[in-house]
Chain A
Amino acid sequence: NAGVTQTPKFRVLKTGQSMTLLCAQDMNHEYMYWYRQDPGMGLRLIHYSVGEGTTAKGEVPDGYNVSRLKKQNFLLGLESAAPSQTSVYFCASSRGPGGSNQPQHFGDGTRLSIL
């Protein structure tokens, strides 16, 4: 069981470069989420999706874009990377909405450094 797979696991970028983080889940989940985790601040929601073709803003969406063209994939894009976006990025998915009794399943994270 692969669960939630994030690609790549590590990446170093220069300021102003762009990149896309890929999240893939094989559990047929409707809901998918992108978080960032910074020291001492817990996880903060960037964007989320409630189904194929849908996206919505989370708590800290500025500087990021997302797409959910296929149910199993959720892409996070950085158009012009900034040092403030240095973080560990986590993708998660769930069968039901966050307010249901369905837990979230997380990937192992992408460690991104912006120089």
Chain B
Amino acid sequence: KQEVTQIPAALSVPEGENLVLNCSFTDSAIYNLQWFRQDPGKGLTSLLLIQSSQREQTSGRLNASLDKSSGRSTLYIAASQPGDSATYLCAVWWFNKFYFGSGTKLNVKP
């Protein structure tokens, strides 16, 4: 069975700091990995999607990397802002199903 783990569960940083969120998965035979943002009381918004053949994807201040062989992905957020405060989830597509981590709750303090 595929298990997706995100550490830490919560993170609090001062505004302007660069930060890294971690995602690990137990079976490396994934087709892709997706990072989402979830605001309180809302659904998930897709941030970045990395195909299994890719190493990284970038969008604005966000950069996601994928190392399939080690079963790890990182989401790098540059120059964090209070508006980045949310829960960040990763998910992998494995044998025709998505498997989600439980998320990292990020708080960026002004």
Q: Which of A40-48, A66-74, A78-86 contacts B (4 or more CB under 8 A)?
A: A40-48
Asked if B98 and A108 make an inter-chain contact with CB atoms under 8 angstroms apart, the answer reads: no
Known: A98-B96, A99-B32. A107 touches B49 (CB 8 A): no
Known: A108-B42, A109-B42. A59 touches B89 (CB 8 A): no
Asked if A42 and B102 make an inter-chain contact with CB atoms under 8 angstroms apart, the answer reads: yes
| B91 interfacial by beta-carbon distance below 8 Å | yes
| A1 interfacial by beta-carbon distance below 8 Å | no
**B43, B49, B96: most-surrounded residue (chain A CB, <10 A):** B43
Chain A residues with CB under 8 A of B97 = 45, 48, 58-59, 98
* Docked complex Cα distance between A40 and B97 (Å): 20
Identity of the chain B residue whose Cβ is nearest the Cβ of A41 in the assembled complex: B102
Asked if A42 and B101 make an inter-chain contact with CB atoms under 8 angstroms apart, the answer reads: yes
Interface residues on A, range: 20 to 34
Identity of the chain B residue whose Cβ is nearest the Cβ of A38 in the assembled complex: B102
Given contacts A90-B43, A103-B34, A106-B43, could you give 12 more A-B pairs where the C-beta distance is less than 8 Å?
Answer: A33-B98, A40-B102, A42-B89, A42-B102, A43-B98, A59-B97, A90-B44, A92-B44, A98-B31, A99-B31, A100-B32, A103-B46
* Docked complex Cα distance between A45 and B89 (Å): 15
Chain B residues with CB under 8 A of A92 = 43-44
Chain A contacts with B in 90-115, Cβ cutoff 8 A: 90, 92, 97-101, 103-109
* Docked complex Cα distance between A90 and B38 (Å): 12
CB distance from A77 to the nearest CB of B (A): 21
| A4 interfacial by beta-carbon distance below 8 Å | yes
CB distance from B47 to the nearest CB of A (A): 9
